[in-house]
Amino acid sequence: MPTPMQRYLRWMLAAAAMVLQPAVAFADEPLIYELKIGGLYHDAPGLWSGFQIEPRSLDINVEALFGPHIDLLWGKLRPAVGATINTVGATSKLYVDARWEVEAPSGIFFGLGIGAAVHNGDLAPVDMDRKALGSRLLFHFPAELGWRWDGHQSISVYFEHDSNGYTQAYNEGIDCIGVRYGYRF
């Protein structure tokens, strides 16, 4: 017998499905919809996490967005997978997201996402040059603002925040921000 919380969640999912009624597209786009690559400032201070501990360094970010999508609120929601690799041995991560993106006719686009990341950083305060992230599995929140100047190529400012959302004793979080180039197939 379902608990009251399970009944509530089922009701909410059913209501969302009826209200949004998204159109799912599978056959009209290639499996890999877009590839992106860029350089990010690692553990940038003064953003969501608020402070920097890890060495100032460059992260290389690579990402693939997939073709299957759901039309949702003037944009498209699609899966994304990626990696942010630190060049000096600080925290690196692999992530998977649900990414929502809206694009204007001018080529300006904006994207937000939510997902999960696994990382190779410290879980507790061990090394004074590494953040204590508390859990091997973290929430991944990306945001992107860019411009697509033709049907294929784009340039964007990309931000990502990773933390465990205060589910563990340690939750220092880590922010990266930088520039990416994208190519849509």
20's torsion region: left (phi>0), alpha (psi -120 to 50) or beta?
alpha
Burial of 177 (C-beta count, 10 Å sphere; 0-12/13-18/19+)? middle
Please give the pLDDT value at position 29.
73
Structure tokens at 62: 């690579």
Q: What is the pLDDT of residues 51-88, one digit of tens each?
A: 889 999 999 999 999 988 889 989 999 999 999 999 99
Q: What is the pLDDT of residues 36-52, one digit of tens each?
A: 999 999 999 989 888 88
* All domains in the chain, ordered by first residue: 24-184 (2.40.160.20)
